[in-house]
Amino acid sequence: MPFTVKILDIKPLTHDVNQFKVEKPKGYSFIPGQATEVAINTEKWKDELRPFTFTSLPESDFLEFVIKSYKDHDGVTNQLDNMKVGDELLIDESWGAIKYNGKGVFIAGGAGVTPFIGIFNLLQEKGELEGNKLFFANKTKKDVILEDHFREVLGDNFVSILDEEEASGHESGRIDEEFLKKHVSDFSQHFYVCGPDPMVKAISETLEKLGAKPDAITFEK
């Protein structure tokens, strides 16, 4: 049975990404990296469930999601873009997705970074963020979610790469074999990959080719 929760706060992060803070049902629990199914509590949209990842800490008294809106079609994310504080969402139980198994390299494409936000927040709170890296691929500079935050908490362990724009402080191109060889010296560590399916498949195959063990590569099944 889904839980009904009110939106407490909406904060824009980029031109098409918002951070939603919502009520947390009593006794609700999740592990950073997990997701849930979310729907809008209106007659038209209540059966349109979509998976979104938690970005808040498990002990926080609210739930938080970072959601990219796809304005090119009239779907759930486009509707979410028009919602206001006080509007209601329906959320289900938490489930699976990406679990932290130890220090390593996190590789994200676009909104695929969202499972890593919650994991990094938890690691930062525990003082265990050091030694983890984030490679973040986007089209243009304006698409980079939480860039300032990642630079602040990860320092040189944050590498941004853009494939449709040249910009200072960002590499250009894609996360391919050449990029991975340049930025990774140890392929026996953990790797976490999240993004569009073709990207996840290509990067996982390249990592294995470079010596990563298949069971050390974590991605959404």
Domain boundaries, the chain: 3-95, 104-219
Classify domain 104-219 at the CATH topology level: Rossmann fold (3.40.50)
- pTM (2 decimals)? 0.93
Q: Which amino acid is at 132?
A: N
- What pLDDT is stored for residue 221 in this prediction? 63
Q: Do 3-95 and 104-219 have matching folds?
A: no
Q: What is the dihedral of CA 208, 214, 216, 220, to 10 degrees?
A: 100
CA 20 to chain centre: 14
- What pLDDT is stored for residue 96 in this prediction? 83
Classify domain 3-95 at the CATH topology level: Elongation Factor Tu (Ef-tu); domain 3 (2.40.30)
- What pLDDT is stored for residue 91 in this prediction? 97
The DSSP H or E segment spanning 151 is helix 147-154
pLDDT in tens, the chain (221 residues): 699 999 999 999 999 999 999 999 999 999 999 999 999 999 999 999 999 999 999 999 999 999 999 877 778 888 999 999 999 999 999 998 788 999 999 999 999 999 999 999 999 999 999 999 999 999 999 999 999 999 999 999 999 999 999 999 999 999 999 999 999 999 999 999 999 999 999 999 999 999 999 999 998 76
Q: What is the rounded CA–CA span in Å between residue 178 and residue 171?
A: 12
